[in-house]
Chain A
Amino acid sequence: KQEVTQIPAALSVPEGENLVLNCSFTDSAIYNLQWFRQDPGKGLTSLLLIQSSQREQTSGRLNASLDKSSGRSTLYIAASQPGDSATYLCAVSRQTGANNLFFGTGTRLTVIP
């Protein structure tokens, strides 16, 4: 069974700092990996999707990398802002490409002004 772990569980940083969130998964037979953010009591907002054949994806201040063989992904956030405060979740889908995502427990990020 696929297990997804995110470290750290919580992170507090001053505004302007660059930071890295980590995600690891036990079964490397994935179809893709997706990073989401979730604001309190809200749904999920998709940030980046990396196909299993890709190594990284970038969107604005966000960069996500994927090392499928080692079962790891990182989300890099540059020049953090208070508006980045949220819970960040990574999720992987199975090799068959079915739309059942396995989610990590998330990293709660607080950016202090």
Chain B
Amino acid sequence: KAGVTQTPRYLIKTRGQQVTLSCSPISGHRSVSWYQQTPGQGLQFLFEYFSETQRNKGNFPGRFSGRQFSNSRSEMNVSTLELGDSALYLCASSYDSYEQYFGPGTRLTVT
């Protein structure tokens, strides 16, 4: 069974631009969660999608948004990028509310 995949793996953007990251969950998993990891704040929950609906949301500004498609693939979008958005973005998939499996992450650098 293929694991969680994330694309792209690395990304460099300029301040003020927007970016879209993609996550493909493990086959059969309906839940996709997104996390931001930075050296200063550690791992923080962004949001979770379950069956195309946002089920939970963390404490991030509205510049961070996401969606989930009918095949459970998910995208997250960050608009008007700031230097502080530089981070490793991880997505995790789960079959309902159980063990979460993480992808390799997308390393975003904002210059």
Task: Judge whether A43 and B42 touch: CB under 8 Å.
Answer: no
In the complex, A36→B35 CA distance in Å? Answer: 14
Q: Choose among B48, B100, B105 the residue that contacts A34 (Cβ–Cβ < 8 A).
A: B100
In the complex, A41→B107 CA distance in Å? Answer: 9
Is A61 an interface position by the 8 A CB rule?
Answer: no
Is A22 an interface position by the 8 A CB rule?
Answer: no
Q: Choose among A93, A98, A103 the residue that contacts B55 (Cβ–Cβ < 8 A).
A: A98
**B window 29-56: CB within 8 A of A:** 31, 33, 35, 42-45, 48, 50, 55-56
Task: Judge whether B97 and A97 touch: CB under 8 Å.
Answer: yes
Which residue of chain B has the shortest Cβ distance to A31 in the bound complex? B97
**A window 90-112: CB within 8 A of B:** 91, 93, 97-106
| Least Cβ–Cβ distance between A55 and chain B, in angstroms | 18
Residue tally, chain B, CB below 8 Å to A: 27
In the complex, A99→B91 CA distance in Å? Answer: 11
In the complex, A97→B99 CA distance in Å? Answer: 11
In this complex, the interface size class of chain A, counting residues with CB under 8 Å from chain B, is 20 to 34
Is A49 an interface position by the 8 A CB rule?
Answer: yes
Chain B hits for A98, CB < 8 A:
48, 55-56, 97
**Given A43-B104, A99-B31, A100-B56, does the pair A34, B45 have CB atoms closer than 8 Å?**
no
Chain A hits for B88, CB < 8 A:
41
**A window 50-64: CB within 8 A of B:** none
Q: Choose among A42, A46, A97 the residue that contacts B105 (Cβ–Cβ < 8 A).
A: A42
Residue from B55, B102, B103 having most chain A Cβ neighbours under 10 A: B102
Residue from A43, A46, A98 having most chain B Cβ neighbours under 10 A: A43
Task: Judge whether A44 and B102 touch: CB under 8 Å.
Answer: yes
**B window 46-93: CB within 8 A of A:** 48, 50, 55-56, 58, 88, 90, 92
Task: Judge whether A99 and B104 touch: CB under 8 Å.
Answer: no
Contacts A42-B104, A103-B43, A106-B42 aside, 18 further interface pairs with beta carbons under 8 A come to A31-B97, A32-B98, A43-B90, A43-B104, A43-B105, A45-B102, A97-B97, A99-B33, A99-B48, A99-B55, A99-B94, A99-B97, A99-B100, A100-B56, A101-B45, A103-B35, A103-B42, A104-B42
